[in-house]
Amino acid sequence: MIEGRTILCFASGYEAPPTSKHHVMHLLAERNRVLWVNYHASRAPSATSSDLAYIWRKLGQVFRGLTNPRENLWVLTPLVLPLPGSTLARRVNRWMLVRSVRRALRRIQEGPLQIWTFAPDVAYLLADFRAETVLYYCVDDFASFSGYDHEQVSRNEEELCRKADLVVACSGALEQNRKSWNPSMVLVRHGVEYGHFARALSDGLTEPEDLRGIPHPRLGFFGLIRDWVDVNLLAQVARLRPEWHIVLIGNSTVDLSPYRGLANMHFLGARPYEQLPAYCKGFDVGLVPFVINDLTRAALPIKLREYLAAGLPVVSTPLPELASLADLVLSAADAQQTVTAVEAALRTNPERRRQLSLAMSQETWDCKLAQIERALSAVADGSVAT
């Protein structure tokens, strides 16, 4: 068990909706101190309105300085130059980052230091901190994200993997593609906050008001609406089955105007994480309509387990990582297959819903963290984590 340490965490977006990094760091903060460094130098920004708004938000966080949003967890947003391909920018960033992080550590550190990074490109900082452990938690194929320099990210990630004491991969594809860089690798698929989402099966949970005017059956999606979400596929399904209503929750950088004319497609915008179980209760089916590409071939979205914990039957495009949940999730490659899969999902009875939920009861974030802790112990004992 990891306790009495200070965890220096490099990760983006503490203010964003909870992901694996939030769940893991919140658990570690119960027994340790956590300094979350909002690292945002992995991608050069564009001149789009969304990127300009992002820069403005980041500058506001920089000027707020060190914050303490929950017990034993502090967040620091350092000033950096988001120019990952520039040698000069990297030197400047190293000077600014090390200076600001050391200042924060002087205020909060207790016990030995560990570095846990969800960012793939911080190897250049590791020598500046006396950490007893360096762990790289690989949650995505970052080199495949739009706007990232593929070759640069790959080089940076390989350097980080080789320097880390342990690499945690959240999918089989990520594990296989990086194992040659570091044999101390452990596969830990995403977990779920089970108690939170299982509330959707409770009779006492009230349906959100903005769902009440939308007829059943409701096919629901929540999460970021980005270029990896196949909104066009959903629109095809909406046209094939006008009596079905497709509800999307989440902010979008995708142009949704071509779809707003469809009366059975509903874009509700972002909703707080705390309210998602109530939305799941109001859905009849959970959707994972991801485009199949290099990025998603290595992905197993957290929402899959969240839907299942809520007792929702799930229809997903055929992500390779679905093999680990093949007996729980319906797969469909195109609009007609999706219609067939949704028809089957709509026949799911209450007992099957309870079974889907119970299947996730041993997939909690506590279980996932315990798996990582065992792997770290194996590394410390001189054995290779697998």
pLDDT score recorded for residue 382: 76
* CA separation for the pair 287, 245 (Å, rounded): 12
> Which SS3 state, helix, strand or coil, does residue 68 take?
strand
Phi, psi of 202 (to 5 degrees): -85, 140
On whether the CB atoms of residues 4 and 32 are closer than 8 A, the answer is yes
Beta bridge partners of 330: 315
* Residue of 204 and 377 predicted with greater confidence: 377
**Quick one: pLDDT band at residue 145, thresholds 50, 70, 90?**
confident
pLDDT score recorded for residue 58: 53
**pLDDT tens-digit series, residues 250-274:** 999 999 999 999 999 999 999 999 9
Chain centroid to CA 250: how far? 14
- Is the pLDDT at 56 greater than 50? The verdict is no
- Is the pLDDT at 131 greater than 60? The verdict is yes
- Domains of the chain and any CATH numbers: 6-191+364-380 (3.40.50.2000), 194-358 (3.40.50.2000)
Whole-number Cα distances in Å, 18 to 14, 173, 259, 299: 8, 23, 28, 17
pLDDT score recorded for residue 1: 87
- Is the pLDDT at 193 greater than 70? The verdict is yes
Tokens of 46: 């564009």
Residue given tokens 């497609």 in the structure block: 265
pLDDT score recorded for residue 344: 98
The strands making up 131-138's β-sheet, listed across from edge to edge, are 67-70, 73-76, 33-38, 6-11, 113-117, 131-138, 166-169, 185-187
E strands along 29-120, which residues? 33-38, 67-70, 73-76, 113-117
On whether the CB atoms of residues 288 and 317 are closer than 8 A, the answer is yes
- Is the pLDDT at 235 greater than 60? The verdict is yes
* CA separation for the pair 95, 232 (Å, rounded): 45
Chain centroid to CA 338: how far? 25
* CA separation for the pair 134, 248 (Å, rounded): 38
**Quick one: pLDDT band at residue 42, thresholds 50, 70, 90?**
low
* CA separation for the pair 117, 131 (Å, rounded): 12
* CA separation for the pair 251, 254 (Å, rounded): 9
Residue in 313, 310, 336, 312 with CA at minimum distance from that of residue 237: 336
* CA separation for the pair 130, 142 (Å, rounded): 27
Report the length, in residues, of the chain: 386
Helix pair angle (231-240, 335-345), 10° resolution: 70
Across 38-47, 147-156, 197-206, 229-238, least confident range: 38-47
**With the CA atoms of 119, 329, 277 and 370 taken in that order, what torsion angle do they form, in degrees rounded to the nearest 10?**
-50
* CA separation for the pair 119, 142 (Å, rounded): 9
pLDDT score recorded for residue 49: 57
Q: Please state, rounded to an integer, the average pLDDT across all residues of the chain.
A: 91
- The DSSP code for 157 is H
Beta strand 265-269 pairing with 166-169: unpaired
Chain centroid to CA 12: how far? 11
- Is the pLDDT at 65 greater than 60? The verdict is yes
Beta strand 185-187 pairing with 113-117: unpaired
**pLDDT tens-digit series, residues 304-324:** 999 999 999 999 999 999 988
Residue given tokens 């990760």 in the structure block: 11
pTM: 0.90
* Residue of 181 and 92 predicted with greater confidence: 181
pLDDT score recorded for residue 52: 47
On whether the CB atoms of residues 249 and 220 are closer than 8 A, the answer is yes
